[in-house]
Structure 1
Amino acid sequence: MTKKISLLLVVLLVILSLASCAQNKPEPTATPEPTTPVATEKPTDEQPTETEWEPATFSIWTWPGSIESWGAKDLNDVAAFQELEKRTNTRIEWVMQSDSATFDLIMASGDIPDAVYYAWNPVRQGQYAADGLIIDIMPYIQSSAPNLLGLIESDPMVKKQLVRDDGSVYLVPWITADLSLLAGEGFAIRQDWLDKFNLPVPKNPEELYQALKTFREQDANGNGEKDELVTGYPSQFNKSAFAFGTTDGFHIAEDGKTAVYGPMTENYREWLRWMNKLYSENLIDPDYFSWDYDIYMKKNMENRVALYVDNPGVLNTIVKDGAANELDIKWTPMKYMEYKGKSVNFSNAYKRYVQPYGLAVSKDCEDPARLLKWMDYFFTEEGNILMNWGVEGVSYEVVNGEKKFLDSVMNDPELVPSTALSKFAHPTFIGIQDPKANDALADAFTLACREAWSDTDISGAWEPFVAFTPEENAINSQYSTDLGTIKDSWRDGFITGEKDIETEWDAYLKELEAYHVQDLIQINQAALDRYLAKK
């Protein structure tokens, strides 16, 4: 995929009938356009018109998120939801839980709110649907949510990721149709140290190795010691495996259809050799495996960290905290490194055109059609603006035809802009997230990170909405955790040199086989085949 992935085709501003939405297109090619709200049926004396809403009240479970930082009780304290209630005559009673672990308790209680906002990945959808706790909402989308239906029928990617193999739908989603919205974390290297030694930003593993070696051997931090290194969470820096054409789990082969378990491949073995070289030369922090944020930050504040993998917020915090300690840290984003001459990324999060986060309707909802009508408003032009920008004159203004956030968002005395926006809007709830609004909140460094990290090929990443059958899910549940544990143990041993990559590789493969890796490859291939066959 290119920097900006192909987007949704423009849905007609007025949907005259469901048939008019059913445009079969080979690829989405334009920015998603929310549609004008329409009546689901021809109004009569007994039915409200498209601009009238019968009063209704629903309950929704979710977590507070950013609104906790400014003391909100629930989302009814947010300006957009206050305005939404006025426009739709719909009152929401929020069941807010700070600890998302209470999700399991809510679902097991037998007393479930009308809708539940959660990470509804395909496995979780299938599990709770099979238990009868959430309902198939496709009939209600067809009868009461013409704008969402228009997106499903006009764009193949939305349909493929949202609609299950049997035609059912269990999620009203948050849609991220622009790759910059997904490029939330990546590699950053010390620009000041690159400048000191006249080095370019590394593009591949060898260039990165040479840069890290130069920093250490030539004392980039000037403290008289060879102590410059890479640190951070292993799950982050292990993304360097992408540059060897593999990843730490399942990915898709270059043929676009074959499931590959990366840790069994020679590509993975080559990555492990590279990692062992860095570790044995003290270029990787010996505390790398600690999974301790405080330790990683301590190394940053000692001015020792050459490269870090995280989001712009963390990287900016390191700069800010460094300045307080009289350090002048300058990061520059690195693109995901190249494999066969092009930047590649095997993270399936980058393929989430439809996010798994969204609303599922519970078995206890007495009027799903009316609830879907309310949810559908988020997919109209008016609803989209409200959720992404807030209320005009309160959180944004329009200047020469362009929306611009006001000081209430951009210059809050206590909150960064992205958090301050949570007083007025909620772009990551349901509906289509607007990349322009997202970029309008960002500083120059964050924009540079998004540009660099989104300029990558994600074709080899695993498909995030591949779904198992109940039988396959039982196999996955039985074997995947144990396989991951044994694989991780061998991987870390190969990196540190406690295990010999040359003499013990066959024993490693044999142990993966004993932990049923072939069974897992088989079910993942079958699930991928079904996903790729979906129209």
Structure 2
Amino acid sequence: MKTKWKKTSAAFIMGTVLMMAGCQGDDSANTKEESTGPVTFSMFNADPHSQWDNMESPVSQIVKEKTEVTLEPEFDVAGGEQKIPLMIASGEYPDLIAPKGNAGKLVDAGALIDLTDLIEEHAPNLQKIYGDYFSRLKWSGEDESIYILPTAAVDHTYWAPGTGFMLQHDVVKQLGYPEIRTVKDFENAIREYKEKNPTIDGQPTIGLSLLADDWRIMISTTNPAFYATGAPDDGEFYIDPDTHEATMHYRRPAEKEYFKWLNHMNAEGLLDKESFVQKYDQYLAKISSGRTIGLIDTDWEVADAQRALRESGKAERMHGMYPVTLTEEYKHANFQDTGYLGGWGIGITVDCEDPIRAIKFLDYLASEEGQILQNWGIEGEHYTIEDGKRVISDEEMNERNNNANYVKETGIGVLKGFAPIYGDGVTDSTGQTYSIASPDQIKNAYTDVEKEVLANYDVEMWKDLYPQKEEFPVKPWGAAYNMPVEAGSDLELIMQKSMDIVKKRIPEAILADPAEFDAVWDEFMADLEKAGVEQAEADYTEMVKNRVELWK
């Protein structure tokens, strides 16, 4: 079994790309014999993994003992945007691959095997976990193969918001807990606190910091425009809920007003001057220092910085999350239900010499035993059984909440993103939830400062501040951003051109003199039209409608 995959030189790639473009891989996965004994699988993950344990932690050691599988992964910091095309050009792949939004390129190149028969013959736990959603694993109406195992949580109950406008707890405390509902409320809180506290721990106070490092520009800078204007995040397109027509979301008039507000924040001196030049690690370090009072981001992107603040005893410098929108006419759609999401996940490539062992490994992670290991840890070490129920001690829960390296040290959750998982609230054969998350657990994990802030806003959880999922219709297309775009298609080319324009024009518009904002925005819109945005919208509309039909 190979354990590493080669990186091919640029010169070789240029010489072979045309030859390899038409090659298709061998789909006859079941003709390969299953090996016995220890095996190592190479893996590429398009996301970074700050808590990777090299499979040396207690939990990962048990997984290795049970499966005799060791993973040798490579984690990317650029979403796979450069490395996956290089793999395709070379025709050499790792055994397993989690490509995020680039699965379409791999399918078109014949790089992924159809997992349908492997699942049916060797993966009862995968069959069980996907259950009624199995049809959503099909690639398309024309190709019903299963190339990707989605890793989104199944039947998940969301008890915490994942995205929003974030303010340090000390900001709202010092200002007497003002209403934080609109961007104007958010702006006023930052301005007033910054004026009263020009420095924090001897360093200049930063008002609002954004992140635009490569693909992360979408997370912190551009896609919040969806939520601020009452729409769910569908990637680069707004989908009309009635007609399913797609519009590149920047072309919505309401979003122009959102970016004009960011331009205003910059002109007022409230926007971090390094927002569009800082790297991700610099951004996290800045937040971890405690001097960045405002953020617009997701919980997962800033989680390491929030843990660092908590671990260093700076609970008042941690951030609360608020459902801020442009004006009160909009409702923040964080909790709008997508239904179960097919699309992004993990696949087995044609270069995997033992796809049966690979699918069995993923099946083990999806099993009840594997899920309990990844959520609760090891009985007697991370939890005990009392009256038939798993119980985590106060001391251990304190470690979970306050040790920034808890995942790496214990292995709990390290492999969670490599296979499907049961969502919060789903119960196992004993009637206890697979995950430890529950409203009580979440509330107990809050710091005293958080509890004080929430009490002063007359709620018990951050979720309570937000419009609830019952206030929105279920999206029949799921999340448009995880629909595969055909490699080499006009749509892919136009989207690439459009994103290059976005990465240039959005920072330019935000940093422009306010008197020049409209002119810069007009140039932005004209650039998108020249790039073929109207054709892209028509093509994307067709994709959305096809998915709605496939998922009926």
With normalisation by structure 2, the TM-score equals 0.69
In structure 2, the residue matched to 1:437 is 436
Flag the 1:519–1:86 CA change in 2: closer, same or farther, 3 A: same
2:112 corresponds, among 129, 134, 137, to 134
Q: How does 1:28-107 map to 2 (within 5 A)?
A: 55=36, 58-62=39-43, 74-75=54-55, 77-84=56-63, 87=66, 90-97=67-74
Alignment of 1:273 with 2:249, yes or no, is no
Determine helix, strand or coil for the equivalent of 1:229: strand
Compare 329-338 and 206-215 and name the one that shifted more. 329-338
Question: Structure 1, residues 240-295: CA drift from partner, whole Å, max 9, x if none?
Answer: 42212467831222426121211112112211222222222222223332224547
Name the CA distance, whole Å, in 2 between partners of 1:410 and 1:321: 14
Question: Structure 1, residues 54-106: CA drift from partner, whole Å, max 9, x if none?
Answer: 94554421369999979x5x43x34445444555xx43253344667777776
In structure 1, the residue matched to 2:410 is 421
In structure 2, the residue matched to 1:464 is 481
Question: Structure 1, residues 292-326: CA drift from partner, whole Å, max 9, x if none?
Answer: 45478558858463446453431343466685xxx
In structure 1, the residue matched to 2:229 is 244
Tell me if the contact between 2:210 and 2:221 (Cα under 8 Å) persists in the aligned partners: yes
Flag the 1:54–1:142 CA change in 2: closer, same or farther, 3 A: same
1:483 corresponds, among 498, 520, 525, to 498
Flag the 1:527–1:398 CA change in 2: closer, same or farther, 3 A: same
Name the CA distance, whole Å, in 1 between partners of 2:259 and 2:170: 29
Determine helix, strand or coil for the equivalent of 2:500: helix
Name the CA distance, whole Å, in 1 between partners of 2:409 and 2:287: 31
Name the CA distance, whole Å, in 1 between partners of 2:296 and 2:49: 29
In structure 2, the residue matched to 1:215 is 193
Counterpart of 1:169, as a letter, is: I
Name the CA distance, whole Å, in 2 between partners of 1:347 and 1:104: 34
In structure 1, the residue matched to 2:277 is 290
2:376 corresponds, among 389, 393, 396, to 389
1:119 corresponds, among 99, 106, 110, to 99
| Sequence identity percentage | 17
Tell me if the contact between 2:41 and 2:71 (Cα under 8 Å) persists in the aligned partners: yes
Counterpart of 2:151, as a letter, is: W
In structure 1, the residue matched to 2:209 is 231
Flag the 1:190–1:455 CA change in 2: closer, same or farther, 3 A: farther
Determine helix, strand or coil for the equivalent of 1:343: coil
Please give the root-mean-square deviation of Cα atoms over the aligned residues, in Å: 4.5
Question: Structure 1, residues 100-152: CA drift from partner, whole Å, max 9, x if none?
Answer: 77777766666655x3142353xx33322333332111122223323323444
Name the CA distance, whole Å, in 1 between partners of 2:48 and 2:536: 38
In structure 2, the residue matched to 1:17 is none
Alignment of 1:255 with 2:242, yes or no, is yes
Question: Structure 1, residues 179-218: CA drift from partner, whole Å, max 9, x if none?
Answer: 5499555432133232323242411223223323433455
Name the CA distance, whole Å, in 2 between partners of 1:300 and 1:81: 29
Tell me if the contact between 2:336 and 2:468 (Cα under 8 Å) persists in the aligned partners: no
Flag the 1:409–1:426 CA change in 2: closer, same or farther, 3 A: farther
Deviation at 1:169, TM superposition (A): 0.5
Name the CA distance, whole Å, in 1 between partners of 2:103 and 2:319: 40
Question: Structure 1, residues 358-392: CA drift from partner, whole Å, max 9, x if none?
Answer: 2x223244554454344333333233223333332
Counterpart of 1:200, as a letter, is: P
Determine helix, strand or coil for the equivalent of 2:344: strand
Alignment of 1:194 with 2:172, yes or no, is yes
In structure 2, the residue matched to 1:169 is 146
Gaps of 5+ in 2: 1-33, 425-434, 452-460
With normalisation by structure 1, the TM-score equals 0.71
Counterpart of 1:244, as a letter, is: T
Flag the 1:68–1:191 CA change in 2: closer, same or farther, 3 A: closer
Determine helix, strand or coil for the equivalent of 1:398: strand
Name the CA distance, whole Å, in 2 between partners of 1:299 and 1:429: 28
Deviation at 1:443, TM superposition (A): 3.5
Tell me if the contact between 1:216 and 1:226 (Cα under 8 Å) persists in the aligned partners: no
Q: How does 1:304-383 map to 2 (within 5 A)?
A: 305-307=293-295, 309=297, 311-318=302-309, 323=314, 329=317, 331-337=319-325, 340-345=329-334, 353-354=341-342, 356-358=344-346, 360-365=347-352, 368-369=355-356, 371-383=358-370
Compare 178-187 and 276-285 and name the one that shifted more. 178-187
How many residues are aligned here? 466
Flag the 1:111–1:290 CA change in 2: closer, same or farther, 3 A: closer
2:507 corresponds, among 466, 488, 492, to 492
Counterpart of 1:437, as a letter, is: I
Tell me if the contact between 1:185 and 1:311 (Cα under 8 Å) persists in the aligned partners: no
Compare 368-377 and 59-68 and name the one that shifted more. 59-68
In structure 2, the residue matched to 1:38 is none
Tell me if the contact between 2:229 and 2:330 (Cα under 8 Å) persists in the aligned partners: no
Determine helix, strand or coil for the equivalent of 2:320: strand
Gaps of 5+ in 1: 1-52
Name the CA distance, whole Å, in 1 between partners of 2:283 and 2:151: 35
Flag the 1:476–1:163 CA change in 2: closer, same or farther, 3 A: closer
Counterpart of 2:493, as a letter, is: Q
Name the CA distance, whole Å, in 1 between partners of 2:268 and 2:189: 13
Counterpart of 2:508, as a letter, is: G
Alignment of 1:525 with 2:506, yes or no, is no
Tell me if the contact between 2:287 and 2:305 (Cα under 8 Å) persists in the aligned partners: no
Counterpart of 1:527, as a letter, is: M
Counterpart of 2:308, as a letter, is: T
Compare 297-306 and 308-317 and name the one that shifted more. 297-306
1:160 corresponds, among 136, 149, 157, to 136
Determine helix, strand or coil for the equivalent of 2:242: coil
Question: Structure 1, residues 394-450: CA drift from partner, whole Å, max 9, x if none?
Answer: 333223343234667864997633333317863332131553335769931599567
Name the CA distance, whole Å, in 1 between partners of 2:107 and 2:539: 20
Name the CA distance, whole Å, in 2 between partners of 1:408 and 1:222: 32
Question: Structure 1, residues 429-478: CA drift from partner, whole Å, max 9, x if none?
Answer: 213155333576993159956776895669678423312345xx422342
In structure 2, the residue matched to 1:147 is 125
Tell me if the contact between 1:176 and 1:355 (Cα under 8 Å) persists in the aligned partners: no
Name the CA distance, whole Å, in 1 between partners of 2:130 and 2:292: 50
Larger Rg: 1 or 2?
1
